[in-house]
């Protein structure tokens, strides 16, 4: 009997192998031996992420290769899948093993995409047959003990296969939207004089619109002055403030002074009488354990790291067996995880260099609640603690992430932050005022965070009921403040808590149910996609919508399914029902509705694009082209512009002239490009010798019909543009 364990990636497979007694390394897989395998011939192989992909439109119909409005809609009769070009070699090895297997153990990541990767590979291999047994390894840690425990207690793979149907439905829907809406908007913009590519996505578009709407709110915000007042008090050389208990705001100074006069309060010195004093001891529990979103927000606030960077670094720590699975939306763990953390708490404290007493050795509902733990629990420490050398080898972001998780885990066991809150109520004529003071009594868990999270102390004097204190009235002139621009951290939070932006209760419930737009695993990629498409830029942590992004949003505003977080949530809600096996929720019904929406777009997008401020965008593009121009194109009247990987003509695709960015790994300068475009020879300086990297030389090159040609060596005195 042959068992094949299918991992998602090589590092994951390596962790499984290292948890077993013996192994033989083969080409693309491992032969493994261990008593827990029950003497079965067992192999561990791996995908390289998504081995399988949907075929592009031209595979169904050659005419669909060219973007043409007459070719829309693109609706294949039956969706087909293919092996990704770069992973064909590994797929062949995986397929050979799966075909000979009697039992296939799906051991990809324990989430929807993990299911999709596994079952797509199994199906394209022709191995989804009744003659084979399918099992599921479902674990949250790659530590040896967790892997062995999981292999001893394999699940029935069919219990999770609905997650695959959900993920595949989402994958096909995104394909339909992308290959129909993207050319539809792009070609309609082009027909109106804007030759740019506009990528449309089921989640990226409403996310962009949410950022755009915030920016509009800020741009349209009108500051308004308002006035408030307070008393500045001094008693026994302790200065403090007293504010009206009612948070009053006045539109003008006159209104404020009239109000004071009506209540017999004078502009200047007044006597305030103590009417009530309350002292309460307050306890604050340590922060909740981290989900991926909260960790991404925290790292963006602390270091300015992008959500994508945080996810990648957290995954490295997971693959290194230092953290639990990071792609989680949960803030809780079960008693089982608490027990192993409790057993290792002294080691964790030693790592952090603290000697605070452990107070809470029993699980508390704030952190441990099995009813709030689904497939995954919160991000926590593993039993493996990095050595000094291992920790020093971490990147700065990896260090920050590990320390953040370590602090939140250890804080769960430490004493509460305890402080005394003093509230003193005063009366002055007919008005009531209040002063609040806080005095820390025990820092508790805050000792772990004291360098990052300040603890403020506000001291009040020792007063008694009926004491009188002289106070000077102060007029406060303030202005209303606009909302803040999104940062990548606050955007992640806004995507997860998008229901707060809505008024309709049903829509709020849906968004709460699906936990916002996007998923823990996809939100970082969505933000990166918006950057890559030149819809947003990040300036000093703040996200700014570009002119291109604004033009698209102006066209999208008429299509709620592409601009509204509410409609996106309804889509996600239906997809979730597929994953939960609700009887009336099927892939066919969902995709049929997507197709109806695309047909609606085809009928209306031309009008939507016409409603955008196209003239402003054209002026912006003209100015940008002049600014970015490197040289005149030698083949047409266009301009040479720097692209991501080459230098191309602004009239592409009508003109396909291009130049490389480098010659022999040395970047071409602006002067080099001007010379080459003018038909002159040019000198590229400082090229490293292939024989000896310490040696450098200068090369004379010119542009020929075959491309850049080496003419000869140049001495240091020769000038460019010969």
- For position 526, what pLDDT does the model report? 94
Alpha helices in 611-705 (DSSP H): 614-628, 670-677
In sign, the C-alpha dihedral spanning 79, 85, 87, 91 is: positive
Are residues 7 and 141 both part of a single domain? Answer: yes
Name the strand (E) or helix (H) holding 41.
strand 41-46
Which positions ≥6 away from 31 have C-beta within 8 Å?
23, 24, 41, 42, 43
Q: Which residue, 282, 288, 262, is CA-closest to 405?
A: 288
For residue 617, being part of any structural domain is answered with no
> Would you say how long the chain is, in residues?
722
- Say if 45 falls within a structural domain: yes
Whether residue 61 contacts residue 28, with contact meaning beta carbons closer than 8 Å, is answered with no
- Euclidean distance between CA atoms 117 and 126, whole angstroms: 15
List C-alpha distances in Å: 68 to 37, 184, 631.
56, 8, 31
Q: Write out residues in the chain with pLDDT < 50, as ranges.
A: 721-722
Q: Is beta strand 81-83 parallel, antiparallel or unpaired with respect to 696-704? A: unpaired
For residues 385 and 436, membership in a common domain is answered with no
Residue 11's φ and ψ, nearest 5 degrees, are: -65, -35
Whether residues 501 and 639 share a domain: the answer is no
588 within domain boundaries = yes
Residues paired with 701 in a beta bridge: 682, 710
- Please tell me the pTM assigned to this model: 0.82
Q: CA-to-CA distance for 488 and 536, rounded, in angstroms?
A: 11
CA distance 26 to 235: 81
Would residue 210 count as lying in a domain?
A: yes
Are residues 202 and 84 part of one domain? Answer: no
Cα distance between residue 334 and residue 341, in whole Å:
11
Select from 385, 413, 441 the last residue of a domain: 413
Please report, for the domain that includes residue 142, its CATH number: 3.40.50.140
Same domain? For 568 and 542 the reply is yes
- What per-residue confidence (pLDDT) applies to 340? 93
Could you tell me which residues come within 8 angstroms of residue 663 by beta carbon, excluding any fewer than 6 positions away? 672, 684, 687, 699, 701, 708
Residues 116 and 33 occupy one common structural domain: yes
| Three-class secondary structure assignment of 99-126 | HHCCEEEEECCCCHHHHHHHHHHHHHCC
| Domain co-membership, 497 together with 557 | yes
**Number of structural domains the chain divides into:** 5
Q: Are 614 and 193 in contact (CB under 8 A)?
A: yes
Decide which of 479, 509, 524 is a domain's last residue. 479
Residue 137 CA to residue 6 CA, distance in Å, equals 10
Q: Residue 262: which CATH number?
A: 2.70.20.10
> Which 8-state DSSP code applies to residue 323?
B
Q: Which residues contact 410 (CB under 8 A, 6 or more apart)?
A: 345, 348, 349, 352, 354, 445, 448
User: Does residue 6 share a domain with residue 144?
Assistant: yes
What is the DSSP secondary-structure string of 74-87?
---SS--EEE-GGG
Residue numbers of the domain that contains 136 = 2-153
Statement to judge: residues 117 and 8 lie in one domain: yes
- Give the dihedral sign, CA 545/548/554/558: negative
Q: Write the pLDDT tens digit of every residue in 506-561.
A: 666 766 766 778 888 889 999 999 999 999 999 999 999 999 999 999 999 999 88
Please check whether residues 127 and 16 belong to one and the same domain: yes
Residue 719 lies in a domain: no
- Answer yes or no: do 149 and 6 share one domain: yes
Query: Do 397 and 374 fall into the same domain?
Result: yes
Q: What is the 3-state secondary structure (H, E, C) of 130-155?
A: CCCEEEECCCCCCCHHHHHHHHHCCE
Single residue among 398, 413, 428 that ends a domain in this structure: 413
What CATH number does residue 343 fall under? 1.10.290.10
Cα R_g (the chain), whole angstroms = 32
Return the bridge partners of 425, or none: 276, 434
DSSP state of 458: B
Look at residue 718 and tell me if it is in a domain: no
């Amino acid at each position: 009997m042959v068992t094949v364990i299918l991992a998602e990636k090589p590092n994951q497979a390596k962790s499984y192998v290292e948890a077993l007694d013996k192994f033989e390394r083969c080409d693309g897989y491992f032969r493994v031996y261990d008593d827990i395998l029950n003497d079965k011939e067992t192999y561990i192989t791996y995908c390289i992420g998504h081995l399988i992909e949907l075929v592009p439109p031209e595979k169904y119909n050659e005419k669909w290769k060219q973007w043409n409005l007459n070719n829309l809609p693109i609706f294949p009769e039956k969706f087909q899948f293919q092996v990704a070009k770069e992973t064909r070699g590994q797929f062949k090895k995986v397929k050979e093993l799966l075909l000979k297997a009697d039992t296939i153990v799906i051991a990809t990541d324990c989430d929807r995409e993990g299911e999709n990767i596994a079952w797509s590979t199994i199906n394209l291999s022709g191995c989804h047959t009744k003659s084979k047994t399918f099992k599921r390894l479902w674990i949250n840690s790659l530590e040896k003990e967790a892997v062995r425990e999981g292999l001893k207690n394999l699940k029935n793979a069919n219990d999770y296969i609905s997650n695959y149907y959900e993920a595949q439905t989402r994958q096909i829907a995104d394909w339909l939207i992308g290959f129909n809406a993207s050319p539809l908007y792009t070609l309609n913009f082009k027909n109106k004089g804007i030759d740019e590519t506009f990528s449309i996505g089921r989640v990226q578009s409403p996310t962009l619109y949410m950022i755009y709407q915030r920016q509009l709110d800020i741009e349209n915000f009108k500051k308004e002055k308002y006035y408030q007042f307070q008393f500045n008090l001094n008693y026994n050389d302790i200065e403090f403030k007293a504010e009206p208990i009612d948070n009053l705001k006045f539109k003008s100074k006159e209104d404020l002074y009239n109000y004071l006069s009506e209540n017999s309060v004078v502009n200047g010195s007044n006597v305030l009488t103590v009417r009530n004093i309350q002292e309460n001891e307050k306890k604050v529990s340590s922060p909740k354990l981290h989900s991926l979103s909260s960790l991404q927000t925290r790292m963006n606030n602390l270091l300015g790291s992008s959500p994508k960077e945080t996810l990648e670094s957290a995954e490295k720590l997971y693959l290194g067996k230092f953290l639990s699975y990071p792609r989680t939306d949960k803030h809780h763990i079960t008693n089982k995880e608490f027990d192993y953390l409790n057993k290792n708490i002294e080691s964790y404290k030693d790592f952090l260099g603290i000697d605070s007493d452990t107070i809470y050795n029993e699980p508390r509902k704030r952190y441990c609640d099995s009813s709030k733990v689904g497939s995954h629990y919160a991000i926590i420490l593993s039993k493996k603690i990095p050595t000094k050398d291992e920790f020093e080898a971490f990147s700065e972001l990896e260090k920050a992430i590990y320390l953040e998780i370590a602090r939140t885990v250890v804080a769960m066991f430490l004493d509460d932050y305890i402080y005394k809150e003093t509230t003193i109520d005063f009366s002055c004529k007919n008005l009531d005022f209040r002063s609040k003071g806080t005095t820390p009594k025990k820092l508790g868990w805050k000792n772990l965070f004291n360098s990052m999270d300040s603890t403020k102390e506000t001291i009040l004097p020792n007063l008694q009921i009926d004491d009188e204190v002289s106070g000077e009235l102060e007029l406060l002139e303030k202005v209303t403040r606009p909302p803040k621009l999104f940062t990548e951290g606050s955007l992640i939070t806004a995507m997860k808590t998008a229901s707060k932006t809505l008024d309709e209760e049903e829509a709020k419930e849906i968004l709460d149910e699906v936990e916002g737009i996007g998923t823990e695993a996809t939100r970082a990629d969505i933000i990166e996609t918006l950057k890559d498409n030149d819809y947003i830029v990040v300036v000093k942590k703040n996200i700014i919508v570009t002119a291109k992004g604004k033009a698209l949003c102006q066209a999208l505003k008429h299509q709620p399914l592409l601009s509204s977080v509410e409609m996106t949530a309804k889509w996600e809600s239906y997809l979730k029902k597929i994953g939960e096996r609700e009887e009336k929720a099927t892939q066919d019904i969902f995709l049929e509705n997507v197709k109806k929406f695309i047909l609606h777009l085809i009928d209306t997008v031309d009008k939507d694009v016409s409603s955008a401020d196209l003239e402003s965008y054209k002026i912006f593009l003209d100015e940008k082209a002049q600014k970015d121009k490197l040289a005149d194109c030698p083949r047409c009247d266009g301009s040479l512009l720097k692209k991501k990987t080459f230098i191309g003509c602004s009239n592409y695709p009508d003109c396909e002239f291009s130049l490389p960015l480098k010659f022999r790994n040395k970047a071409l300068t602006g002067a080099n490009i001007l010379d080459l475009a003018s038909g002159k020879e040019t000198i590229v300086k400082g090229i490293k010798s292939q024989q000896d990297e310490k040696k450098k030389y200068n090369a004379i090159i010119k542009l020929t019909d075959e491309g850049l040609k080496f003419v000869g060596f140049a001495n240091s005195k020769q000038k460019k543009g010969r």
